[in-house]
Amino acid sequence: MIIVTGGAGFIGSNLVNYLSKNTNEKIVSVDYLNELNKNYFSSTNTFMVHPTDLRSFLRKFKKEVRVIVHLGAISSTTCNDPNLILENNVRLSMSLKKWCDDNLTRFIYASSAATYGDGNNGFLDSSKFAYLSKLRPLNLYGWSKQITDLNFFSKKINKKQLVGLKFFNVYGPNEFHKDEMRSIVLKIYEKVQSKKSIKLFKSHSKDYKDGEQLRDFIYVKDVIKVINWFINNPKRSGLFNVGSGLPRSFKDVTNAVFRNFNYPKRITYIDTPRNIRNQYQYYTKAEMIKLRRLGFKDKFFSLEDGINDYVNNYLKS
C-alpha cells in the first residue's frame, strides 16, 4: 500500500493517477475534496481517506503500508498565519515521520525551493546542517519546510528510506484549485485565451532586462518521474532538488504559450509591487547533479514541449 497525503492536490493528484495506472498496489489518497479538485482523478480504484481519519486508518492498516508520500501542506507563500502553518506543515510532517520510524516504514516528503530564500547561499540540495542552517527563506511557507528539513536531517537517518524533495516552479494539469498560487503558465494561458495583454514585471535590477528574470520551471510529469523513481529505489535517501536545472525567463514562458495560438503576441511590462520588490527573486536554478549521480537517468521535458503538452492535451480539452 502507498499512502499519498495531499492526494487531491496538484502534484498529489498527478502522482495518484500515475500510480493507479502503473502499479498493482493499493493507492490511498488522503485529502479534502471540493468542486474544483473532485474531477482530478482518472481512476476509480483510488481509496480515499479524509484527513481526520488518517490516524485510525494507519492503526488499522499499519502492516500493509509500504511507503508514505507526504505532499499535504499549506502551500501558499502569502499565508501569514503562523499557527496554521506550524500545525499543517511542521507538526503533521514530524508526526508522520515519527510514525514511519516507529513502524519501519519508508517516508518521502515535499520540501521546497522556497527554503533557499533569495538564493545568496546557492541552490545546493545538501542535507548537511552547516549548509541548511545558512538558508534564509523569505516567507512562512519556506520557513516551515526549512524547519522540517533541519529537524529530519540533523539527526540520524531512520532505518528505512527518508527522502525530502525540494520542488522548484512546477506547472501542469490539476492546478485550478490553487487560485493565486497557480503556475505562471496557467495564468498566461488564461490571459492569451481571453486575448488579453500579458503583464510581466519590469526588472528593477541592472543585471536583467524586463521579463527576463529567470526561474527553474519543471513540468509536473517530470516531478512524478522523480517521486516514482524513489518509490522504486527504497535504498536511496537524502534531500534532493526537483527542477529542470535549466532556468528560463518569463518571456520564454509567454512565447511558449503563444506558440499554441494564432493571436498576435501582446506583452505589457508593469512595476513590481513595492511590498514584494525587496524579496523578489531574479534567478533560481535547481542543481541536479546529486540526483543524476544517484542513478536517475530519465530525460525531462523542455519548457516548450512541456507547455505544448499541457496546453493542447489538458487546457484546450
pLDDT per position as a tens digit, 97-135: 999 999 999 999 999 999 999 899 999 999 999 999 999
CATH topology of domain 2-171+217-245+284-301: Rossmann fold (3.40.50)
Closest CA to 166 of 209, 114, 213, 210: 114
Q: Could you tell me how far CA 209 lies from the centroid of its own chain? A: 28
Instruction: Kindly tell me if the per-residue pLDDT of 223 is higher than 80.
Output: yes
**CA–CA dist 154, 17 (Å, integer):** 34
Instruction: Kindly tell me if the per-residue pLDDT of 140 is higher than 80.
Output: yes
CATH topology of domain 176-214+248-277: UDP-galactose 4-epimerase; domain 1 (3.90.25)
Residue 274 — very low, low, confident or very high, per pLDDT cuts 50/70/90? confident
CA dihedral (179, 6, 69, 232) in degrees, to 10, reads -70
Selecting among 26, 160, 178, 290, the annotated active-site residue is 178
User: Which runs of E-coded beta strand occur in the chain?
Assistant: 2-5, 27-30, 47-49, 67-70, 106-112, 162-167, 169-171, 198-201, 214-215, 217-219, 238-242, 248-249, 267-270
Per residue in 23-56, pLDDT tens?
A: 989 999 999 877 667 778 876 678 899 999 999 9
Residue 262 — very low, low, confident or very high, per pLDDT cuts 50/70/90? confident
In CATH terms, are 2-171+217-245+284-301 and 176-214+248-277 the same topology? no
Domain positions in the chain are 2-171+217-245+284-301, 176-214+248-277
User: Tell me, what's the pLDDT at 281?
Assistant: 85
Per residue in 62-105, pLDDT tens?
A: 999 999 999 999 888 888 889 999 999 999 999 999 999 999 99
User: Tell me, what's the pLDDT at 159?
Assistant: 76
141 as an active site residue: the answer is yes
178 as an active site residue: the answer is yes
Selecting among 18, 40, 109, 141, the annotated active-site residue is 141
